[in-house]
């Protein structure tokens, strides 16, 4: 099945808009003031939100996962291996974001990892993940072309002390 990039993007935006990210940011970032949606140029380089604090700003790339794997007893994160298999474009290569945040709307949970720390683990483990853990390629259509991407599910604990977690309310009250 070929997915349509624009439809997936709209669905992701809708699900993240309903998630109380501000409440989660307030727990993760010291001296939190608020956040704003990233500009179109920021979005192209991996920034969905700009978090504002008294000490500066941070760029966050949001990853939405519809079902929380904790529901079946697993704590893992979906990690993109190749954003375009045909051109061997690895995921996360040209991002200017400072943090990645996975959100799980079904449970209200989030996981935040500083991007630099994520990339160290990603780069060190990429070959293993690609060989042993890669899921079947997903076909997407964008601007009339079809391309394929791959991802894998990585245990959250692999990112160790860099992981910050918050359990909010699935209904959005927290």
Q: In 3-state terms, what secondary structure has residue 59? A: strand
Confidence check: pLDDT of 5 > 60 = no
Note the Cα 172 to chain centre separation in Å.
Answer: 19
Confidence check: pLDDT of 98 > 80 = yes
Residue 68, C-beta contacts closer than 8 angstroms, at least 6 positions apart? 104, 106, 107, 109
Average pLDDT over residues 33-58: 94
The C-alpha atoms of residue 77 and residue 160 are separated, in whole angstroms, by 13
For the question of whether the overall pTM of this predicted structure is more than 0.85, the answer is yes
Domains of the chain (ranges plus CATH)?
2-167 (3.40.1350)
Say if CB 151 and CB 81 are below 8 A apart: yes
Burial of 108: CB neighbours in 10 Å, binned 0-12, 13-18, 19+: buried
């Amino acid at each position: 099945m070929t997915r349509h990039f624009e439809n997936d993007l709209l669905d992701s935006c809708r699900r993240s808009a309903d998630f109380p990210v501000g409440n989660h940011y307030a727990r993760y970032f010291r001296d939190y003031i608020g956040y704003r949606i990233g500009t179109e140029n920021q979005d192209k380089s991996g920034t969905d939100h700009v978090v504002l604090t008294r000490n500066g700003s941070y760029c966050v790339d949001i990853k939405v996962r519809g079902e929380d794997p904790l529901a079946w007893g697993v704590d893992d994160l979906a990690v993109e291996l190749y954003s375009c298999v045909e051109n061997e474009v690895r995921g996360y290569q040209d991002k200017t974001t400072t943090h990645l945040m996975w959100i799980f709307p079904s449970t209200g949970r989030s996981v935040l990892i500083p991007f630099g720390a994520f990339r160290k683990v990603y780069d060190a483990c990429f070959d293993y993940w690609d060989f042993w853990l890669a899921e079947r390629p997903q076909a997407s259509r964008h601007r009339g072309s079809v391309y394929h991407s791959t991802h894998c599910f990585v245990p959250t604990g692999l990112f160790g002390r860099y992981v910050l977690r918050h359990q909010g309310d699935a209904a959005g009250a927290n």
